[in-house]
Amino acid sequence: MSSISAVVMTLAFVLDQIVGDPKSLPHPVVGIGRVISILESLLNYGSAEAKRIKGVLLAFLIVGGSWFLTWIVVKYAYFLNNYFGIVVEVYLIFTTLAGKSLLDAGRNVLIPLKEGDLEQARVRLSWLVSRNTSSLPEGEVVRGTVETIAENFVDGILSPLIYAFIGGAPL
């Protein structure tokens, strides 16, 4: 890992821990989701076989297109200025991380549990899971919260950091 990569990774991680999900800033992941929705609406028709082939095409377009666009942006940013390149790459990696958001989600359920408000904890857990939480006992609320955080740890923290470590923001 180069010293620039170490700086980029560290800054992206720290920024995520301090700021969390940037709701008022342009968010690449939200943009990718919008492109997926548009392409899905254009491609999701025909026979089951045609849909399967278009689904594979959609996956290649999204993954390949996201990588290529990010690679171009990062390369151009570093071409302009190394410091600007670092800022751009930090931002792009930071937006893929969800560490603070996961901790906040867990705390949102834990706080009412600690205060003895099982009903509010159930409501807040329902924001995180797709199952009915209205009659869960306290132990199941805790379990559901831990499971959700553990499952999302891979997608929201571990995988982005591993891929960024291997190939920077584009990967």
pLDDT digits (tens, 9 = 90+) for 68-80: 999 999 999 999 9
Q: Return the half-sphere exposure (C-beta side, CA atoms, 13 A cut-off) of residue 114.
A: 6
DSSP character at residue 96: T
Residue 120 has pLDDT above 60, yes or no: yes
Least confident of 22-26, 50-54, 141-145: 22-26
Whether residue 1 has pLDDT greater than 60: no
Query: What is the average per-residue pLDDT within 127-132?
Result: 90
Per DSSP, helices labelled H in the chain are 3-19, 28-43, 48-80, 82-94, 99-114, 118-126, 138-153, 159-167
Is the predicted pLDDT of residue 23 greater than 90, yes or no?
Answer: no
What's the average model confidence in pLDDT over 151-155?
Answer: 92
In this prediction, residue 21 carries a pLDDT of 84
Asked if residue 2 has pLDDT above 70, the reply is no
